């Protein structure tokens, strides 16, 4: 005949172990979710930086061509400004990834205030771009 006390002790230990495993699983799931969120944010930042490099190359090309065709020095100034911003020699406008030079060309005014001076390559390094990727860019 089974006694209630030993059965209760075994059931209590089993319940405590199951609760501990459930808590451990929850904590591991939370860490995995946090890591996935960080990876997504880094991926998005990397995409934005790569797109900024592409956009700045397009802006440089467009401004150079327009300057050659028109001879208007404002296009040369914009050409030099894009390069200076990309190299960190001039402050990077806030939200620079959004439409910027189109507004400057249309209104002759900057649409947003300036931020910090930081080279695009430094931002890419801080975002975790690999040296092999910089080699491909060169």
Rounded Cα–Cα distance for residues 94 and 40 (Å): 22
Specify if 77 maps to a domain.
Answer: yes
**Does residue 4 fall inside a structural domain?**
no
For residue 71, what are the domain limits? Answer: 45-138
HEC secondary structure over 80-116: HHHHHHHHCCCCCECCCCCCCHHHHHHHCCCCCCECC
In a domain, 11, yes or no: no
Instruction: Report the mean per-residue pLDDT for the chain.
Output: 93
Task: Examine residue 33 and state whether it is found in any structural domain, yes or no.
Answer: no
Distance CA 129, CA 34 (A): 21
Would you give the distance in Å from CA 122 to the centre of its chain?
13
Tokens of 33: 């979710």
Q: pTM value? A: 0.75
Overall number of domains in the chain: 1
Q: What is the mean pLDDT of residues 61-90?
A: 96
Q: What is the mean pLDDT of residues 53-81?
A: 95
Secondary structure of residue 61 in the 3-state scheme: helix
């Amino acid at each position: 005949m089974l006694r209630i006390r030993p059965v209760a002790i075994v059931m209590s230990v089993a319940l405590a172990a199951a609760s501990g495993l459930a808590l451990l699983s929850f904590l591991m799931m939370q860490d995995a979710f946090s890591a996935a969120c960080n990876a997504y944010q880094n991926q998005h930042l990397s995409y934005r930086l790569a797109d900024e490099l592409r956009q700045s190359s397009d802006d440089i090309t467009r401004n150079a061509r327009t300057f050659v065709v028109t001879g208007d020095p404002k296009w040369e100034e914009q050409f030099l400004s894009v390069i200076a911003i990309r190299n960190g020699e001039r402050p990077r406008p806030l939200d620079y990834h959004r439409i910027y030079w189109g507004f400057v060309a249309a209104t002759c005014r900057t649409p947003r205030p300036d931020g910090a001076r930081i080279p695009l390559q430094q931002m890419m390094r801080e975002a975790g771009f690999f040296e092999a990727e910089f080699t491909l860019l060169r």
